[in-house]
């Protein structure tokens, strides 16, 4: 399986996801600003992977800080990383976690603070892989044997420290001996499905068919699809789910055709401080992502364009939310509160 991100003595190394699948190139971020830039440009993307990158970015920032007024520098580092992308709450959760560790080291020599922050960032990375494996174990039973699973965007190894959330469920179902294949929506405009999901599943030898986003309804009606599994960027207290734009349409079509719609996500993606998905900030990205394909214009110059990167699927379309702590079912207000326990709200910082 591809290594999405790792901590090294030289800095934070990540596979450049803007260049996949044509080239497998690794970039090294040597400063926290380079990590922030990589998140912004989607060299690394996917909610859990963004969280891991942010944790490593904070550690890198403090490691390279000159030690003068470290509190102010820590604020600057965290502020810059937090300003990269607004929707995936894992980013803010990870920064909060690093800030808490920093706060707990008050009065310690700077070398100890640095060592502790690096250790915490590496721990966030290790935990994320274990969490995804647990999500996979908890979700594998839900995948019907002998059917096709439809997924949207990339919620795989590339979107996490490894293994994946939605693709983790698929990997675990395959490992349990189920005979399944996958339909991957191409996921315009950034093509995470075509470029990333198709690539990583093909490398794993999991039978995968690529479809364009507007074919999803046709196949959901065909009787071939056994369930839909997607990831999430933020889940509100009532179970509304923000995920890659286009997820909502898939969810409505799944319900219309009586197909279960599952969301696979770690508890760190829950933001129980938000009552509903209406409060989730939706990132608006550069319109050039819509008007061009790999630099080639596909629309007339000057045409007005919208480019929301995410949409919100109302909870009534969600059959269940698969987490590392178990499967939450409606009413989500109760099941998510129970699963998250006290103190987990996705992370204000």
With left for phi above 0 and alpha for psi between -120 and 50, is residue 187 left, alpha or beta?
left
Instruction: Name the packing angle between helices 89-104 and 110-140 (round to 10°).
Output: 140
Least CB distance from residue 17 to ligand MRU, whole Å? 8
CA distance 232 to 265: 6
Query: Per rule CB under 6 A, is residue 232 in the interface with ligand MRU?
Result: yes
Query: Per rule CB under 6 A, is residue 45 in the interface with ligand MRU?
Result: yes
Binder among 61, 193, 231, 246 for ligand MRU (CB under 6 A): 231
Binder among 84, 148, 165, 197 for ligand MRU (CB under 6 A): 165
Phi, psi of 333 (to 5 degrees): -55, -40
Least CB distance from residue 283 to ligand MRU, whole Å? 8
Retrieve residue 275's tokens. Answer: 């009552």
Least CB distance from residue 337 to ligand MRU, whole Å? 22
Q: How many residues does the chain have?
A: 349
Residues between 303 and 342 that touch ligand MRU (CB under 6 A): 309
The one segment of 27-35, 44-52, 64-72, 325-333 that binds ligand MRU by CB under 6 A: 44-52
C-beta closer to ligand MRU: residue 102 or 248 = 248
Binder among 159, 173, 174, 318 for ligand MRU (CB under 6 A): 159
240 is catalytic: no
Residue entry with tokens 């399944």: 180
Please identify which of the residues 185, 233, 240, 271 carries the catalytic annotation.
233
C-beta closer to ligand MRU: residue 154 or 291 = 154
Residue entry with tokens 């394909």: 293
Residue entry with tokens 């969301």: 263
3-state helix, strand, coil in the chain (%, to 5): 45, 20, 40
Asked if 153 contacts 186 with a C-beta cutoff of 8 angstroms, the reply is no
Residues between 240 and 259 that touch ligand MRU (CB under 6 A): 243-244
CA distance 275 to 321: 17
The one segment of 43-51, 177-185, 220-228, 288-296 that binds ligand MRU by CB under 6 A: 43-51
Query: Per rule CB under 6 A, is residue 29 in the interface with ligand MRU?
Result: no
Asked if 7 contacts 122 with a C-beta cutoff of 8 angstroms, the reply is yes
Query: Per rule CB under 6 A, is residue 228 in the interface with ligand MRU?
Result: no
Query: Per rule CB under 6 A, is residue 153 in the interface with ligand MRU?
Result: yes
* Total residues at interface with ligand MRU (CB under 6 A): 17
Least CB distance from residue 198 to ligand MRU, whole Å? 14
E strands present in the chain = 5-8, 11-15, 26-29, 148-151, 181-185, 208-211, 225-230, 234-236, 241-244, 261-264, 270-271, 292-293, 296-297, 310-313, 320-323, 326-328
Query: Per rule CB under 6 A, is residue 280 in the interface with ligand MRU?
Result: no
Query: Per rule CB under 6 A, is residue 78 in the interface with ligand MRU?
Result: no
Query: Per rule CB under 6 A, is residue 86 in the interface with ligand MRU?
Result: no
Query: Per rule CB under 6 A, is residue 48 in the interface with ligand MRU?
Result: yes
C-beta closer to ligand MRU: residue 172 or 309 = 309
Asked if 301 contacts 83 with a C-beta cutoff of 8 angstroms, the reply is no
Residue entry with tokens 């207290």: 237
Residue numbers annotated as active site: 233
* Site residues, ligand MRU (CB under 6 A): 45-48, 88, 153, 155, 159-160, 165, 192, 231-233, 243-244, 309
């Amino acid at each position: 399986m591809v290594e999405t991100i790792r901590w090294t003595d030289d800095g934070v190394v990540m596979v450049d996801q803007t260049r996949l699948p044509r080239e497998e190139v690794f970039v090294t971020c040597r400063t926290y600003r380079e990590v922030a830039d990589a998140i912004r440009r989607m060299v690394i993307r996917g909610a859990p992977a963004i969280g891991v990158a942010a944790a490593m970015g904070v550690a890198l920032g403090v490691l390279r800080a000159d030690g003068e007024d470290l509190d102010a520098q820590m604020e600057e580092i965290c502020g810059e990383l937090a300003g990269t992308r607004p929707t995936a709450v894992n980013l803010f959760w990870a920064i909060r976690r690093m800030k808490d560790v920093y706060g707990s080291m008050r009065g310690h020599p700077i070398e100890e603070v640095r060592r502790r922050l690096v250790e915490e960032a590496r721990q966030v990375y290790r935990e994320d892989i274990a969490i995804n494996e647990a999500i996979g174990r908890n979700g594998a039973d839900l995948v019907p044997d002998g059917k096709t699973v439809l997924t949207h965007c990339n919620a795989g190894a590339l979107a996490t420290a490894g293994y994946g959330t939605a693709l983790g469920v698929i990997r675990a179902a395959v490992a349990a001996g189920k005979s399944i294949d996958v339909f991957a929506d191409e996921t315009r405009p950034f093509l995470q499905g075509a470029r990333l999901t198709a690539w990583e599943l093909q490398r794993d030898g999991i039978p995968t068919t690529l479809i364009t986003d507007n074919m999803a309804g046709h196949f959901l009606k065909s009787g071939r699809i056994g369930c839909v599994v997607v990831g999430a960027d933020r889940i509100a207290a009532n179970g509304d789910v923000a995920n890659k734009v286009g997820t909502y349409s898939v969810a409505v079509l799944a319900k219309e055709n009586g197909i279960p719609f599952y969301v696979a996500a770690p508890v760190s993606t829950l933001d129980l401080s938000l009552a509903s998905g209406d409060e989730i900030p939706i990132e608006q990205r550069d319109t050039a992502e819509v008007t061009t394909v790999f630099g080639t214009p596909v629309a007339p110059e000057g045409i007005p364009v919208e480019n929301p990167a995410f949409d919100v699927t109302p909870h009534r379309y969600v059959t269940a939310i698969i987490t590392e702590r178990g499967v939450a079912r409606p009413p989500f207000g109760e099941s998510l509160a129970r699963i998250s326990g006290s103190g987990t709200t996705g992370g204000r910082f």
